[in-house]
């Protein structure tokens, strides 16, 4: 269906040099969009040669607005935004400190909020519609051991999706979210590949009986950005293979 095509659109994907962000950016490109990649280091080999790339450390308070401004300079037709950049800095709750808390919230929540704000301002000034996908997590819906700050930040993104959808609906800007479950990324691969018992536990808990791959998130993001989701806003699409559906899983 043409409704699922992103031809004629331009997307910026934050944190798109590896993992879920890279898979989403590649998926949007495969769906026909021009894509601006982003990372916090110099341009890596993973970014296609024919795509724009912008560096920037989103922990810098001024970086989200600067990134959006740079993306519009490179691609004035920009109309899609995926806020994927984020990470995990937790320690057990009783050992958590202010530095780890601030780093988590500033990257995962603050940077997303102000990137969407800068993006929306640009679209409104140009009087054109757009769409945003925020990458939250099933950690925003269910808690995980020794993950208090990360869980709180991802829960903030779930509510941010809803409140920004309401704020931006009058300007024809849709805001939705995906909530990935356990996905094999550079962050999770070290324990997935070494802790066999823990991995088998998850494979039994996940209804589709496998740990997700970054590409599993790409189609969900492309759908939410596409005309096929033109009447969808303020929603959180869980992409977890059924991890959060059943209480116990297979014995």
Q: Give the Å distances, CA to CA, from 219 to 3, 58, 178.
A: 13, 25, 10
Q: Is 231 among the residues known to form the active site? A: no
Q: In what order do the strands lie in the sheet with 236-239?
A: 52-55, 34-39, 10-13, 80-83, 130-135, 173-180, 236-239
Q: What is the DSSP letter of 134?
A: E
**Packing angle, helices 111-126 and 148-168, rounded to 10:** 20
Catalytic residue among 113, 150, 202, 231: 150
What does the DSSP assignment read for 190-235? HHHTT-HHHHHHHHHHSTTSS-B-THHHHHHHHHHHSGGGTT--S-
- As annotated, the active-site residues are 150
């Amino acid at each position: 269906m043409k409704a699922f095509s992103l031809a004629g659109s331009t997307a910026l994907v934050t944190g798109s040099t590896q993992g879920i962000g890279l898979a989403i950016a590649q998926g949007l490109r495969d769906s026909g969009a021009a894509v601006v990649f982003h990372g916090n280091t110099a341009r890596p080999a993973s970014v296609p040669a024919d795509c724009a790339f912008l560096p920037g450390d989103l922990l810098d308070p001024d970086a989200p607005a600067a990134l959006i401004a740079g993306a519009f300079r490179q691609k004035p037709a920009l109309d899609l935004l995926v806020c994927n950049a984020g990470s995990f800095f937790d320690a057990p709750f009783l050992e958590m400190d202010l530095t780890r808390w601030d780093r988590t919230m500033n990257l995962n929540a603050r940077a997303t909020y102000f990137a969407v704000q800068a993006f929306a301002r640009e679209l409104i000034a140009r009087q054109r519609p757009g769409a945003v996908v925020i990458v939250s997590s099933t950690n925003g819906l269910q808690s995980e051991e020794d993950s208090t700050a990360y869980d709180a930040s991802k829960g903030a993104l779930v509510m941010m999706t809803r409140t920004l959808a309401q704020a931006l609906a009058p300007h024809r800007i849709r805001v939705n979210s995906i909530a990935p479950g356990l996905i094999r990324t550079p962050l999770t691969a070290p324990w997935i590949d070494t802790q066999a018992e823990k991995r088998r536990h998850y494979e039994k808990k996940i209804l589709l009986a496998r740990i997700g791959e970054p590409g599993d998130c790409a189609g969900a993001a492309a759908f939410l950005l596409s005309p096929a989701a033109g009447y969808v806003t303020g929603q959180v699409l869980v992409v977890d293979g059924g991890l959060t559906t059943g209480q116990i899983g297979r014995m």
